Chain A
Amino acid sequence: MIPLSHYLILATLLFCIGLAVTITRKNAIAVLIGLELMLNAANINLVAFSRYDGVQLQGQMFALFVIVVAAAEAAVALALVVRVYGYYKIADLDKLNRLKG
């Protein structure tokens, strides 16, 4: 039986990796990948904690909803990235600074 802490450590590592990717990568697609990593780190947590709710499995159900929402979000985000790239011909977030001000 794998103890709960292993899952939590895994999820933390995964979240940190995702965060690092989100913050450091220049390419917008890579940033989106980082975001997905962070979401899945949260999902691991939810599933892991769901062991303590043996009857209803609320954590696993919540993880499923998160996956669905993440899929939708990824679809929207990718569409945005494609449209931005089509307009500016770049996908470098450092250069896309129109929010400056």
Chain B
Amino acid sequence: MAAGVLLLPLLGALLVLLLRGRGHWLMIGFQAVALLISVYLFSRLWPGNSDAATISPALTHARWNWFTPGAGYPFTLGIWLTIPAALLLVVVNGVALLVQLFSVVYMWKDPGFNRYFSFLGFFVFAMLGIVLADNLFLIFCFWEGVGLASYLLIGFWFNKPQAAAAAKKAFLVNRVGDIGFLIALLIFYAQFRTLDLAALFQLMPASYIQSGDWQAVWSGAAGALPAILLTVAGFGLLMGAIGKSAQFPLQIWLPDAMEGPTPVSALLHAATMVAAGVYLLSRVFPLLTPMVLDITAFIGATTAFMGAFAAFAQHDIKKVLAFSTISQLGYMVMGMGAGAYDAALFHLLTHAFFKAGLFLSAGAVIYALHEAAHRRHTHFDAQDMRNMGGLRRKLPFTFVIYLLCMLALAGLPFLSGFLSKDAILTGTMGWASVARKQWGILAWLVPLAGFTTALLTPIYMGRQLFLVFFGYNRLSDGNEVSYGAIREVPMLMRFPLLVLALLSLGIWFSFDAFDFQGAWPMRLLQLPQVAVPGSLTEYQAANRLFDIREAAFRYHTFTGVVSAILVLMGLLLAYLIYHLFNGRGSFYNNKFVFRSRITRLSYSNWHLDAIYRRTVIAFGLGLMHFANWLDRKVIDRLVDLLGMSGVVFGHVVYWFDRTFIDGAVQVSVWVAGQAGHFSRSMSGRVQQYLLIMLACMMAIILWMFF
């Protein structure tokens, strides 16, 4: 049944490609069926709905033999439906369905309409594969599938050079992370001869670490690996997640990915692509050592802060959201690393809804402006916030949706974002109070970054809100006529927006708006049994997690109050800085550029692109030039030399041929000729023969006697 959910989008994607007319209804139909099945599966897995005995193993974990390697266990492929997987199934299918509905209007005039829907279907298929696969190798395959789908969709308008470059960048940057993932696969396979997750979860605790060796315990265990490889494997998996979830230092691809169609961004940021990294971390959570988890927390905290900072000075309406996604993913990864497994997945869930809502309302704004420009036969950049302002009067519906989703992202109480963010922050506080034994004062940097980001988020989101929907309309600076032509988006677009905005309310997740622990996702998601063997630190990984969670309880009230204050403060600051003291947005016109050093740092995303250009890319280019030089001067020379020596050798052979071989031939000819002469002396006269015989005899006798 779960396999059906997996295959429906793929089937839809393939059929849409074959269709002559518009194929959106087909894709949406398949997607709706997939969503219904997912909801059914999720309800079956809901605790209490069916106790463990009645759930057939075929429903939760189905395996098929793929092949059997020469010596070893059969390689299986399968589907493993756990509770987080079922939850993700609903989220992915749900968001995908809404995005596809939205796309019908958004992409209606695009010549690649069917191709677009087909790609969307494939994207969803690959993501569902990651969610459901029970085998690290299979996950890796779908992982690459997601990479491919994102490449296709980011570069959907491949005629635009920026879009093609962005697609290439996303693909290549993701490859860097995938190398880590691949290394992790190799290590696990070398140690356990299986990549099946359920098997790994049983083999891992059975293995042990003794005097620096990691010894596997199973019937065919080959021997010990160095203990460091256990951590290396964890880092490898983390690297995969860093690439896919756009974490520091690989977050550079995400802002560029905004070149794709806006609904794609919604899907990519909410459900299908960047969520994959966080979901992978949750799927392999039992395999991560405390060391890896700590580094994960630091990376997440760094990313959260860097993303939030970079979101400040962006002109592009979608880039603000892109950086906020990086920042929020940083939160999730930070939560994962801090052992707040359930909180991170909870945030993934809430973020999926409000971020999809934000992207789709940004898409609605872009669509409305684009239509207006089209109607008045003018042209301006419909994504540049310098051309916006005051849109709340023209797009009231979109404004309300955007406001709700934006407040949820900012983490205002009574909205979903507050609950999940609070859960993560509490988790990091607990982690810091335990991890300070290893990291000292550094450990407190993680919750500090979390709280700072919690303050920055409402400021930059408030900035966007005020610049887009409040104040003067700056379009009138040059395009007065277009402002009058702006119309609210069609009903088919409004429906997904409405659903997503409603799902951003906190009430759906917890009746008590201030108690994230009572939220159903937090109760539903149980911390998985930790499978890491041995004591890498002074005590067992599982005990450490337990301590962290114990400690976190103490900070529950503290974080709730602090983050609520920070959000209100942030919104107030945003109002003051970007609205009241900014001439109601009038200075932010289309001649505005960021001048000060700090805003330029934010605008250029910490100059990361430039840094990469000067280091990694410069190194790559240098290597390329060196290789080119080597090729031309050394390799080509060698080849030339080889050719030359061939010619010289040819000459030698020619000479040899003429002198010796031909000579030998001539000698044999001469001998034959002489033999001919000799045979001519055979006259046939018997008496002559006799005479010769006599002469010979006389000669012999003479030789014998003298």
Question: 8 Å CB contacts to B: which residues of A1-38?
Answer: 19, 22-24, 31
**Does A93 belong to the interface (CB within 8 Å)?**
yes
Give every chain B residue within 8 A of A94 (Cβ-Cβ): 685, 687
Cα distance A93–B684 when bound, in Å?
A: 9
What string of 1s and 0s marks CB contacts (under 8 Å) between A76-100 and chain B? 0000000000000000011011111
Contacting residues, chain B, for A54 (C-beta < 8 A): none
A97, closest chain B residue (CB): B684
> In the complex, what's the smallest C-beta–C-beta distance from B545 to chain A, in angstroms?
111
In the complex, the answer to whether B682 meets A99 with C-beta atoms within 8 Å is yes
A-side contacts of B682, CB under 8 Å: 99-101
Q: Which residue of B lies closest to A94 (CB)?
A: B685
Contact A23 B690, beta carbon cutoff 8 Å: yes
How far apart are A100's CB and chain B's nearest CB, in angstroms?
Answer: 3
Q: Are B679 and A93 in contact (CB under 8 A)?
A: no
Q: How far is the CA of A96 from the CA of B689 in the complex (A)?
A: 13
Residues of A within 8 A of B691 (CB): 23
Q: Does B159 contact A (CB under 8 A)?
A: no
Number of A-B pairs, beta carbon distance below 8 Å:
30
Chain A interface size, under 10 / 10 to 19 / 20 to 34 / 35 or more: 10 to 19
Assess the A19–B684 pair: CB atoms within 8 A.
no
Cβ-neighbour of B690 out of A22, A96, A97, A100 (below 8 A): A22
Interface majority SS (helix, strand, loop, mixed), chain B:
helix
B543 at the interface (CB under 8 A from A): no
Q: Shortest Cβ distance from B644 into chain A, in angstroms?
A: 56
The answer to whether A97 touches B683, judged by C-beta atoms less than 8 angstroms apart, is: yes
Which A residues are CB-close (under 8 A) to B694? 19, 23
CA distance A100 to B687 in the complex (A): 12
- Enumerate chain B residues within 8 angstroms of A99, measured Cβ to Cβ: 682, 684, 686
**Complexed CA–CA distance, A22 and B691 (Å):** 10
Chain A residue with minimal CB distance to B685?
A97
C-alpha gap A19/B687 in the complex (Å): 10
In the complex, which residues of chain A have a beta carbon less than 8 angstroms from the beta carbon of B685? Answer: 93-94, 97, 100
Nearest chain A CB to B689 CB, angstrom units: 8
Minimum CB–CB distance from B679 to chain A (whole Å) comes to 7
Q: A19-B694, A23-B694 are in contact. Are A93 and B683 (CB under 8 A)?
A: no
Which residues of B lie under 8 Å from residue A101 when comparing CB positions?
679, 682, 684
CA–CA, A93 to B689, complex, Å? Answer: 12
Chain A residues with CB under 8 A of B683: 97, 100
Whole-angstrom distance between the alpha carbons of A98 and B679 in the complex? 14
Besides A19-B694, A93-B687, 19 more A-B contacts (Cβ < 8 Å) are A22-B687, A22-B690, A23-B687, A23-B691, A24-B687, A31-B687, A93-B686, A94-B685, A94-B687, A96-B684, A97-B683, A97-B684, A98-B684, A99-B682, A99-B684, A99-B686, A100-B682, A100-B683, A101-B679
- Give me 18 A-to-B residue pairs in the complex whose CB atoms sit less than 8 angstroms apart, sorted by A's number: A19-B694, A22-B690, A23-B690, A23-B691, A23-B694, A31-B687, A93-B685, A93-B686, A93-B687, A96-B686, A97-B683, A98-B684, A99-B684, A99-B686, A100-B684, A101-B679, A101-B682, A101-B684
Q: A residues touching B (Cβ–Cβ < 8 Å)?
A: 19, 22-24, 31, 93-94, 96-101
Interface residues of B (CB under 8 A from A): 679, 682-687, 690-691, 694
